[in-house]
Amino acid sequence: MSMQLKNLPFDAEAITNFTKNRNEPKWFSEIRLKGLALAEELPLPTPEKTRIADWNFTKFNVQTESDAVDQLSDLPEEISTLMGKGDQVGNVLIHVNNSAVFDHLSQNLKDQGVIYTDLATAVREHSDLLANYYFKTTSIDKHQLTALNAALVNGGTFLYVPKNVVVSEPIQAVYYQDAPEAGLIAHTLVVAEESSSVTFVESYLSDAAAGTSVANIVNEVVVGANAQVKYGAVDEFSDQFVTYVSRQANVAKDGRIQWALGQMNDGNTLSENATNLEGDGAEADIKAVSIGSGSQKQNFDNYVRHVGKATKSQLLVRAAQKDASNSIFNARTKIEHGASGADGEQTQRVLMLSDQARGDANPILLIDEYDVVAGHAASVGRVDPDQLYYLMSRGIKQETAEKLIVEGFLAPVVDLLPIEGVQKQLTKLIERKVG
Amino acid sequence: MTAPELKINDLHVSVEGKSIVKGFDLDMKGGEIHALMGPNGTGKSTVASALMGHPKYEVTSGQALLNEQNLLDMAVDERARAGMFLAMQYPSEVSGVSNADFLRTAINGRRGEGNEIPLMKFIKTLDKRMNMLEMDESFAERYVNEGFSGGEKKRNEILQLMMLEPQFAILDEIDSGLDIDALKWVAKGVNSMRSENFGCLIITHYQRLLNYIKPDKVHIMMQGRIVKTGGPELALQLEKEGYDGMKAELGIKDDETVEA
């Protein structure tokens, strides 16, 4: 691993300075240093059937700065189109090149104790609260990339919803990168305490100017007892961007999480999505769509672990593979001993739109309990010729018909995104990538 | 505009190497409604699919001319834009695409770029047609045929017919599996289309639908070709005597049926 080491942009001294400059508390600096030590030791993850050894996860500038803006109109248009105009601007946090540049949270939510801020601020102002959750849902020592995230984190978001608080309007985060050769090392925490409810949507975008940048994103979601979290995401990094994104949730008794993930990066992507159904009666609904294009390589691992009794999960992955893209889709449902009455269903469908493209869907069920229901379906196929014939028989040209079919195929996730601007972002992205 | 004309001469069609349609002739003009009847497996649906251009159906010889243009040279979508329409026996489901989007794309496909139908006009027309077919408003936003009952699918085919206003429509067993109410809606839709600029070929096993849509001509198809042509009374005769009676009358002996 020494080769990887040489590439690390930071050493212990640099990290100590970095954390000091940012006025971070001791516990946080310690995690950084622990992360650095682990990053030196631990290997890269080994995703099935995707070789990532030559992907650039470590060469980037960790420090880029952006100035805060007073109004949304000062932001790049790519960002402002994601949001409502004027009074319609909701609860939003905007990050440009790792730094939070704009934030808004309604007074009403503040009064109810909701905290919504960037990670750097949360580390300083809500240190004790944050420490309860930071790297608790997922571990630092999973592999080199999680350790790197701990060591170098320079962005991210903290959303905290207290007990019994029901947030009806969606909470939005937008990350925009245009600094060249930058690294967005982001860590987001969404905490929904007992019997609370919240909808969170994040969008990641970059300008081509970002060039060979790196994203290392670790997001943790804590769903308390009887709480409900809807989590939407649209990833849209440009083609030279290498992305590691890990979204992890832990769900307590009778809690529920709904994931709606639009995984539309143009560059190489390693994605880990995992939900731990810890408490009895916990539920997860996971929907993810992606389009592979160009020569990008992607690996998507979607994992649900049933621990509590009568836990329920539904996983739906839909993907289209174009050009010479290569994607691996793993769906893993694990039902632990004692999780009686668990019900885990998974479906993965991959639509191949080119002879040069490759797509593998691997369904994996691991069951250690008798009294459960589990099912899986996985298919890799081409556009259904009967559907195509049907649409064309109404006078629709073949190209347009194929586009309609593919867009329709990916629609289930678009429909779930709760913010119109983000829905449009994903629809437009799908149209662009399919077109 | 002269009335449209569909001329089919000596059409032979094979499916997966097996000859099914063997010398089918038909002349239709705008303003006419023809019924094509016959027992299972005589090639009625095969004629319909071959005329629309389904890739599985291979025309081995013969001619099909729409307004003197060779239909058989055209791709499926070109045939549709030239004025053909097929209400299918088993319409496909297209998940994620709403009926309204589908119809608007199809209409605009016909009208061509720069001549798209104004959105308000589209919505108004759609509302009107759906009203006539007593379809619930939600149909417009539902995904194409997804989760539709058999009857809903058939009604949806008629809705498309009414929205696209083709010159010739073939209704392939539009009445199969329909209850009497649904049958009436279908008939209402088709009858509302009647004009000098519209011709319709109704493929059916039963005379029932023809009580509601009065045909100008009735053709009986057996063993891959039309064996008898007459007026509406032919359908009634058939209903009375059955296909066996008809076979006896025409001296058709062997029962060489094939998969449709």
Inside any domain, residue A212: no
Burial of A268 (0-12, 13-18, 19+ CB in 10 A): buried
CB nearest A410 (choices: B77, B96, B101): B96
Tell whether A410 is within 8 A of chain B (Cβ).
yes
Check CB contact under 8 Å for B77 and A412.
no
In angstroms, the CA A287 to CA A186 distance is 23
Tell whether A131 is within 8 A of chain B (Cβ).
no
Nearest CA in chain A to B80: A395
In angstroms, the CA B163 to CA B158 distance is 9
A403 lies in which domain range?
A: 384-435
Inside any domain, residue A424: yes
Nearest to B149 by CA among B100, B93, B202, B96: B93
Question: DSSP assignment of B104-137, as one string?
Answer: HHHHHHHH-TT-PPPHHHHHHHHHHHHHHTT--G
In angstroms, the CA A204 to CA A234 distance is 6
A403 in Cβ contact with A433 (< 8 Å): no
Find the CATH number of the domain harbouring B41.
3.40.50.300
Q: Kindly state the tokens that stand for A113.
A: 């104790």
Task: Tell me the β-bridge partners of A190.
Answer: A159, A221
Check CB contact under 8 Å for B80 and A392.
yes
The set of residues, in sequence order, having a beta carbon less than 8 Å from that of A108 and lying 6+ positions away, is none
pLDDT for residue A71: 73
Could you tell me where the beta strands, DSSP code E, fall in A252-337?
Answer: 256-263, 269-277, 283-292, 297-306, 312-321, 326-335
Nearest CA in chain B to A397: B77
Inside any domain, residue A221: no
User: What ipTM was estimated for this complex?
Assistant: 0.95
Residue type at position A388? L
Q: Which residues of B touch A (CB under 8 A)?
A: 52-55, 75-77, 79-81, 85-86, 88, 91-97, 101-102, 105-106, 109-110, 143, 160, 164
In angstroms, the CA A107 to CA A158 distance is 17
**Strand A171-177 to strand A197-206: parallel, antiparallel, or no bridges (unpaired)?**
parallel
A210 in Cβ contact with A242 (< 8 Å): no
Nearest CA in chain A to B54: A389
Check CB contact under 8 Å for B94 and A394.
no
Inside any domain, residue A134: no
End-to-end Cα distance, chain A: 42
**Strand A343-352 to strand A312-321: parallel, antiparallel, or no bridges (unpaired)?**
parallel
In angstroms, the CA B257 to CA A29 distance is 82
Per DSSP, the three-state class of B82 is helix
Contact residues on chain B for A411, CB-CB shorter than 8 A: 95-97
In angstroms, the CA A83 to CA A69 distance is 15
B50 lies in which domain range?
A: 5-250
Tell whether A368 is within 8 A of chain B (Cβ).
no
**Over the stretch A334-370, which tens digit does the pLDDT of each residue have?**
999 999 999 999 999 999 999 999 999 999 999 999 9
Nearest to A358 by CA among A385, A386, A321: A321
In angstroms, the CA A311 to CA B54 distance is 47
Inside any domain, residue B256: no
CB nearest A393 (choices: B80, B94, B110): B80
Sheet of B18-29: strand order equals B18-29, B5-15, B57-66, B69-70
Check CB contact under 8 Å for A397 and B76.
no
Inside any domain, residue B192: yes
A106 in Cβ contact with A169 (< 8 Å): yes
Question: DSSP assignment of B225-260, as one string?
Answer: EEEEEE-HHHHHHHHHHHHHHHHHHHT---------
Check CB contact under 8 Å for A404 and B101.
yes
Contact residues on chain B for A404, CB-CB shorter than 8 A: 94, 97, 101-102, 105
Inside any domain, residue B92: yes
End-to-end Cα distance, chain B: 37
Q: How many residues does chain B have?
A: 260
Residue-level pLDDT, tens digit, chain A, 435 residues: 333 445 576 788 888 888 888 899 999 999 999 999 999 899 999 998 999 999 999 888 877 667 777 777 778 888 878 876 665 678 999 999 988 998 999 999 999 999 999 999 999 999 999 999 999 999 999 999 999 999 999 999 999 999 999 999 999 999 999 888 889 999 999 999 999 999 999 999 999 888 899 999 999 999 999 999 999 999 999 999 999 999 999 999 999 999 999 999 999 999 999 999 999 999 999 999 999 999 999 999 999 999 999 999 999 999 999 999 999 999 999 999 999 999 999 999 999 999 999 999 999 999 999 999 999 999 999 999 999 999 999 999 999 999 999 999 998 778 877 777 788 888 888 888 887
Please give, rounded to a whole number of angstroms, the shortest distance from the CA of B117 to a CA of chain A: 15
Inside any domain, residue A422: yes
Residue type at position A363? P
Check CB contact under 8 Å for A386 and B52.
no
Nearest CA in chain B to A406: B96
Report how many Cβ contacts below 8 Å link chain A to chain B: 80
- Number of folded domains that form chain B: 1
A357 in Cβ contact with A365 (< 8 Å): no
Inside any domain, residue B240: yes
Check CB contact under 8 Å for A398 and B54.
no
How far from B79 is each of A389, B8, B40, CA to CA, in Å? 12, 14, 27
CB nearest B55 (choices: A389, A400, A405): A389
**Over the stretch A369-390, which tens digit does the pLDDT of each residue have?**
999 999 999 999 999 999 999 9
Check CB contact under 8 Å for A394 and B91.
no
Whole-model pTM? 0.84
The set of residues, in sequence order, having a beta carbon less than 8 Å from that of B118 and lying 6+ positions away, is none
Inside any domain, residue B21: yes
Check CB contact under 8 Å for A393 and B91.
no
CB nearest A395 (choices: B88, B97, B164): B164
Inside any domain, residue B143: yes
Alpha carbon B14 to its chain's center: 20
Inside any domain, residue A312: no
Convert A65-83 into a string of H (helix), E (strand) and C (coil).
Answer: CCCCCCCHHHCCHHHHCCC
How far from A168 is each of A90, A104, A172, A229, A286, CA to CA, in Å? 11, 16, 13, 11, 21
Contact residues on chain B for A397, CB-CB shorter than 8 A: 77, 109
- Number of folded domains that form chain A: 1
Residue-level pLDDT, tens digit, chain B, 260 residues: 678 999 999 999 999 999 999 999 999 999 999 999 998 889 999 999 999 999 999 999 999 999 999 999 999 999 999 999 999 999 999 999 999 999 999 999 888 889 999 999 999 999 999 999 989 999 999 999 999 998 899 999 999 999 999 999 999 999 988 888 888 888 999 999 999 999 999 999 888 899 999 999 999 999 999 999 999 999 988 888 888 888 888 888 765 555 44
Task: Tell me the β-bridge partners of A160.
Answer: A115, A191
pLDDT for residue A421: 78
